[in-house]
Amino acid sequence: MDDVRMIEVKEEIMADNNQVAAGVRERLRLQKTMLVNLMSSPGSGKTSLILKTAQALKGSIKLGVIEADIESKVDAEKVAAQGIPAVQLRTGGFCHLDATMVTQGLEALDKKDFDLLIIENVGNLVCPAEFDTGAHKNVMILSVPEGDDKPLKYPLMFSICDVLLVNKIDYLSLSDFDMAAMRKIVLALNPEIKIIEISCKTGAGISDWVDWLKKEVTAFRRA
Amino acid sequence: MHELPVTESILKIVLAHAEKNDVRRVMTIGLQVGRLSDLEDEWMQRYFDYVSRGTLAEGAKLQIERMPIRLECNACAETYTVDAANQIDIPCPNCGKKDAKLISGREYFIKNMEVI
């Protein structure tokens, strides 16, 4: 009978992805390009937000977009139609982007002189939260019709983001969404998070979001 | 939904340690996973069985220790544990306030492995 031995492993399971992500972050830091990872459920307004943001940044900040979708390339076409450089990554069934896929996206973009790149992650509040993409900032959208209980159901996502955009506030009067209760739970998970209420439809709050983004990009390029 | 990349990553780390230590077979793998993770023990094992086929770790049992979700009250600094993610808005057991921050529950760690 062989003796059973115990080996101490003591390693983070995500170490590989975390290492690739750290490499992406550093490379982009040297290129002075800030990378933002945008996450949300399907249909909460990621593409609409990117289009609004691109309009607002026109002429001041050079923006590029990396789109991720399980199958289609609808989003990249919409973004590219606005004259914004965009690449589409098809994840081939995967529910999230990892840092290696982001590396491929960066290589697929012809130009390298962006001030800001936004990743539109796969619409999903679960898996993308577990995988560091190499982004400098994580931003998520929760839209009013999804309900105020989402931070209780997907706490990890809310705990890793720098900004929470609460979209579709034009629906608030039709809904029992409790903004104060939602804020309290989110701040418990993540006291540092910045919460901005917006509506891509009416344009409400978009300037607050764009101001935050401009400030961050400026600080990033100076650092 | 993301069991596959997670279990592939576990396998890769385990096989690297197995090679360094002249292992013939991996019997068990001790993991620490925070309760905020959505991964189910049963499905992690099933995916692991699938990805580990034909390797030294084929048949190894994952022993998953679920790490508690711990909160610290911002008002009185009491720390307390909740059983599930959807209970993070319970009031502080000491002062009754609902104003706390998360201090653990997100772990993804391989502790050790039993081998022959």
Q: What is the pLDDT of residues B68-81, one digit of tens each?
A: 999 999 999 999 99
At B92, which amino acid appears?
C
Interface of B with A in 37-56 (CB under 8 A): 37-38
Work out the minimum CA distance from A187 to partner chain B, whole angstroms.
7
Give the pLDDT score at A73.
Answer: 76
pLDDT digits (tens, 9 = 90+) for B101-111: 888 888 999 99
Does the beta-carbon distance from B109 to A6 stay under 8 Å?
no
Give the pLDDT score at A218.
Answer: 96
- pLDDT above 70 (res B87): yes
Of A12, A98, A153, Cβ closest to residue B86: A153
CB under 8 A, 24+ apart: contacts of B72-77: B72/B100, B72/B101, B72/B103, B73/B97, B73/B99, B73/B100, B74/A191, B74/B99, B74/B100, B74/B101, B75/B99
**Which of left, alpha, beta for A8 (phi over 0: left; psi -120 to 50: alpha)?**
beta
Flag residues of chain A having pLDDT under 50: none
- As a whole number, the mean pLDDT across chain B is 92
Q: Number of Cβ pairs closer than 8 Å across A and B?
A: 118
**ipTM of the predicted assembly exceeds 0.95:** no
A5, A8, A13, A178, best to mutate vs chain B, most B CBs in 10 Å = A13
Give the predicted TM-score (pTM) of the model: 0.84
Interface of B with A in 57-116 (CB under 8 A): 71, 74, 85-86, 88-89, 98-102, 106, 108-116
Give the pLDDT score at B49.
Answer: 97
Percent of chain B scoring above 70 in pLDDT: 99
Of A8, A94, A185, Cβ closest to residue B89: A185
- The answer for residues whose C-beta is within 8 angstroms of residue A198's C-beta and 6 or more apart is A49, A165, A166, A167, A169, A204, A205, A206, A208, A209
Question: What's domain A15-218's superfamily in CATH?
Answer: P-loop containing nucleotide triphosphate hydrolases (3.40.50.300)
Q: Can you give the three-state secondary structure of A159-203, one letter per residue?
A: HHCCEEEEECHHHHHHCCCCHHHHHHHHHHHCCCCEEEECCCCCC
Look at the block and give the residue holding tokens 């793998």: B29
pLDDT digits (tens, 9 = 90+) for A169-213: 999 999 999 999 999 999 988 889 999 999 999 999 999 999 999
Interface of A with B in 117-156 (CB under 8 A): 124, 126-127, 130-131, 152-153, 155-156
Say which CATH class B3-115 falls into: alpha beta
Confidence of residue B1 (pLDDT cuts 50, 70, 90): low
Look at the block and give the residue holding tokens 């989003």: A75
Give the pLDDT score at B90.
Answer: 86
Give the pLDDT score at A1.
Answer: 56
CB A212 within 8 A of CB A163: yes
Q: Which chain A residues have a beta carbon less than 8 Å from that of B114?
A: 4-7
As a whole number, mean pLDDT of residues B55-66 equals 96
What is the C-alpha separation between B86 and A155, in angstroms, rounded?
8
